[in-house]
Amino acid sequence: MRQNFISQKYSVVFDDYTQDHYVCDFERKYKKHWSATKESIMQSLERIANLSGLNLIDVICKSNKGTYIVKFDFKVAKTNISAKTGGNRCILEVCNDILLVKILLVYSKDNIKRQEGQETLWWKKCISEEFGLCCC
């Protein structure tokens, strides 16, 4: 699915849920570098339209709330591992109407429990249960 995002600046917010459940893992693991990483994520997503041609975002679907569910790969600052191979991802809800990017989940592949199966099933279940979002 290809979506044209608006070439204006979006507001970017981390949802409280991801702050409480997943960001703390990154803060512990990357003590000195998480702050710079978080700032980089926010700055990149403010201009999400600029990412459309890169392999860093995947528009997954239109949600049941008329927004877009997007997966964003990011690199942790001061590491030599690329965004794509590092396994660090954000699941976003993007609303073009009000120019808002809400970061629903921030996770690494290490956060996915083995019993949950594959990554996509895991985060789809999570956003459905926590945010009432599903892909239409």
CA–CA gap between residue 51 and residue 14 (Å, rounded) = 19
Q: What is the pLDDT along the chain (136 residues), one digit of tens a residue?
A: 445 788 899 999 999 998 888 787 777 777 788 888 899 999 999 999 888 777 889 889 899 888 999 999 998 887 777 667 678 899 999 999 999 999 999 988 777 765 456 888 888 888 999 999 987 6
Q: Tell me, what's the pLDDT at 115?
A: 47
Return the HEC string of the chain.
Answer: CCCCCCCCCCEEEECHHHHHHHHHHHHHHCCCCHHHHHHHHHHHHHCHHHHCCCCCEEEEEEECCCCEEEEEECCCCCCCCCHHHHCEEEEEEEECCCCEEEEEEEEEHHHCCHHHCCHHHHHHHHHHHHHCCCEC
Q: Which domains does the chain have, with CATH numbers?
A: 11-131 (3.30.2310.20)
